[in-house]
Amino acid sequence: MQLPIALAAAVIAIQDVSVIDVIKGKAMPAKTVIVKDGKVADIVGRAPRNATLVVDGKGKFLIPGLWDMHVHIRGGVESIPDNETFLKLYVANGVTYVREMGGDIPETVFAWRKEIEEGKRTGPHLFTSGPKLDGPKPSWPGSIPVANAEEGRQAVRKLHLMGADFVKVYFDYIEAPVLRAIAEEAEKWKMPVAGHFARNLTIREQVEAGIRDGQHARFYLLQGSCTDERYVAREFIKRRNSEKPMGFDEWTKKLMEEFNPAQERSLIGMLVDNKAWFTPTLAVGAAGLTVGMRTYHDDPRAKYIPANIWKSWDPASGIRKAPSDEVRSLRALVQRKGLEFIPKMRDAGVPLLAGTDTGFANNYMFPGWSLHDEISLMREAGLTNFEALQTATINPVRYFKLEKTHGTIARDKAADLVMIDGNPLVDIRNTAKISGVMVNGKWYGKADLDKLLGEAAREAAISRK
Ligand SMILES: [Zn+2]
C-alpha cells in the first residue's frame, strides 16, 4: 500500500533537537531536521536560510509519529461527529497513524482517509479493514456475514475493491476451510489478516491458516496455553446452539484452570515459527477492571469526549456492564497473565504492536491518551523503554511493510513526527509530554495543539446539549 505524500511548499526546520533512533535505541543530540513536501529532506547541524518556519527543539526529543494499532471508528451514522472529534484528539496526543479495526461506517472512514492524505482534514493517517468479517449472525452492526468458503473469498474481494488495507476477522466459530479460504484470498491481494481467534479451533490451526496478528492477550493466549485446548473447544462447540452456550467468563475460567506453562512455551514457539505478530491491548483490559468502580466524570479527559461515545462507555447505558465481584477478580487474574506474556513473547522474538481498542462501546479508552498508557503498560510488563517505544513506532511500520518510507527519522522518510519534552529511552512516560506534532509535513506547535483540544472540547460540549 502507498501513502500519497502531501502538502506545503514550506521548508520547516526543527532545530537543535535530539533525534531518537528507534532502530538502535539511541538519542542523537543537536540535530536539525529539515522537512519539505511532506518528507524529511535532510538532517543537518543548523537551519538553512530558506527555512520558512524554524521550530526551537532545544532540550526536546523528536520521535517518529506514534501508531495506535487497534482502534474502531463506529457507532452508527449518529456517531460520525463524535468520531470526527476523535481524529483531532489522536493528533493532539501525537498519534499520527491508526489501524482502524472495523466498524459500521466504512464509507465515512474511506472518505476521511482520503481527505487526511490530501491535507483537507486534521487526523491521523488511517489504515482500515473496512467492515469486519463475521459468521452468519455477526456480533457487531456493519460486519459482512460469511457462511462458507466461497462467501469468504467474495467478502475479501469486496474489501479489496472498497480499498481496505487489511482484513479483520471476528469469528467466534468458524470452520477451518472457511478461515483458510479467507486467508488465501487475502494473501492474493497482499492484505494482512488480523483479528480475534475463534473458540472452536485451536490457536495453532488459526495461525497456520493465516491469522498472523492475534488481538487481546487477555483471552487469546490463554486459549493456546491450556493443557487440552481441544477439550475446551469441544465443550464450547457442544453447547454452542444449546439453551446455555458457554459465555466468555465461563470459558475464560476454564482456560485459567487449565493453564499450563509447557503449553504456553510451545504456543509462543509456534507464533515465532509462523512469524506471527501480537497486539495485546493491555490498557483496555486495565480500564475494563474499573468499570462500575469509578464513573470517570471527574477525569480531566472527560470534557473532550462527545455524548454518543460517552454514553456507550457508561455501563448504565452502554453494552458493557459492570462485572460482578467474582468476574472482576477473574478478569484481574487474566489481566495479570496478559502482562506476564509480554516479556516471554519478547524473549522468544514475537514482535509486539501497541493497540488500545479505543472507540465506541469500549469503556474509557481515551483517544491518544490511552496509547501512551498502552506503551507504559508494555514497559511495566517488562519491556525496556526502547522496546516499548518500538511497539508504537517501527514495529507497526514493519507490520505494514512500510520501512522504505516510514518508521524512522531519516532523509526521504514521511514527515510524521512528535516532539516531546523528555527522553523516552530514559522514561517511556515522556512520550505523553508533547510539545509539537507533525502530520504529513504539517506542523502543529503547542498553541495549535491546544487549539485542537479546544475545538474538541467545544464539539463535545455541543453534543451534550
Ligand atoms: Zn477491537
pLDDT digits (tens, 9 = 90+) for 54-103: 999 999 999 999 999 999 999 999 999 999 999 999 999 999 999 999 99
DSSP state letter for 315: T
Per residue in 421-459, pLDDT tens? 999 999 999 999 999 999 999 999 999 999 999 999 999
Residue 244 CA, ligand 1 centroid: distance in Å = 26
pLDDT confidence of residue 221: 86
**Closest C-alpha to 170, from 77, 225, 103, 250:** 103
Residue 72 CA, ligand 1 centroid: distance in Å = 6
Q: 66-406+448-463 has which CATH code?
A: 3.20.20.140
Residue 369 CA, ligand 1 centroid: distance in Å = 17
Residue 349 CA, ligand 1 centroid: distance in Å = 24
Residue 107: phi and psi, rounded to 5, are: -60, -40
DSSP state letter for 77: G
Residue 6 clears pLDDT 50, i.e. is over it:
no
Confidence grade of residue 385 (pLDDT, cut at 50, 70, 90): very high
What's the mean per-residue pLDDT of the chain?
A: 95
Per residue in 352-380, pLDDT tens? 999 999 999 999 999 999 999 999 999 99
Residue 54: phi and psi, rounded to 5, are: -115, 120
Strands 61-64 vs 53-56: parallel, antiparallel or unpaired: unpaired
Residue 100 CA, ligand 1 centroid: distance in Å = 9
Residue 89 CA, ligand 1 centroid: distance in Å = 19
Residue 384 CA, ligand 1 centroid: distance in Å = 26
Residue 2 clears pLDDT 90, i.e. is over it:
no
Identify whether the C-beta of residue 215 lies closer than 8 Å to the C-beta of residue 195. Answer: yes
Residue 118 CA, ligand 1 centroid: distance in Å = 27
Residue 454 CA, ligand 1 centroid: distance in Å = 28
Per residue in 215-254, pLDDT tens? 998 788 899 999 998 888 999 999 999 999 999 899 999 9
Residue 173 CA, ligand 1 centroid: distance in Å = 17
- Average pLDDT of the residues in 151-165: 98
Confidence grade of residue 4 (pLDDT, cut at 50, 70, 90): very low
Residue 101 CA, ligand 1 centroid: distance in Å = 6
Residue 216 CA, ligand 1 centroid: distance in Å = 9
Residue 250 CA, ligand 1 centroid: distance in Å = 21
Identify whether the C-beta of residue 55 lies closer than 8 Å to the C-beta of residue 13. Answer: yes
| % of the chain beyond a pLDDT of 90 | 92
Confidence grade of residue 213 (pLDDT, cut at 50, 70, 90): very high
Residue 71 CA, ligand 1 centroid: distance in Å = 6
Residue 75 CA, ligand 1 centroid: distance in Å = 13
DSSP state letter for 278: E
Residue 236 CA, ligand 1 centroid: distance in Å = 22
DSSP helix/strand/coil, 351: coil
Identify whether the C-beta of residue 331 lies closer than 8 Å to the C-beta of residue 45. Answer: no
| Residue spans per domain, the chain | 66-406+448-463
Per residue in 271-313, pLDDT tens? 999 999 999 999 999 999 999 999 899 999 999 999 999 999 9
Confidence grade of residue 265 (pLDDT, cut at 50, 70, 90): very high
Residue 318 CA, ligand 1 centroid: distance in Å = 16
Residues 6+ apart with CB under 8 A from 211: 169, 179, 183, 193, 194, 195, 197
Residue 269 CA, ligand 1 centroid: distance in Å = 25
Residue 357 CA, ligand 1 centroid: distance in Å = 5
pLDDT confidence of residue 9: 60
Residue 68 CA, ligand 1 centroid: distance in Å = 12
Residue 62 CA, ligand 1 centroid: distance in Å = 30
Identify whether the C-beta of residue 7 lies closer than 8 Å to the C-beta of residue 37. Answer: yes
Buried b (16+ CB within 10 A) or exposed e, 59-88: ebbbbbbbbbbbbbbbbeeebebbbbbbbb
pLDDT confidence of residue 267: 95
What protein residues have CB closer than 5 angstroms to ion ligand 1?
101, 357
Residue 70 CA, ligand 1 centroid: distance in Å = 6
Residue 44 CA, ligand 1 centroid: distance in Å = 41
Residue 359 CA, ligand 1 centroid: distance in Å = 8
Confidence grade of residue 319 (pLDDT, cut at 50, 70, 90): confident
Residue 9 CA, ligand 1 centroid: distance in Å = 38
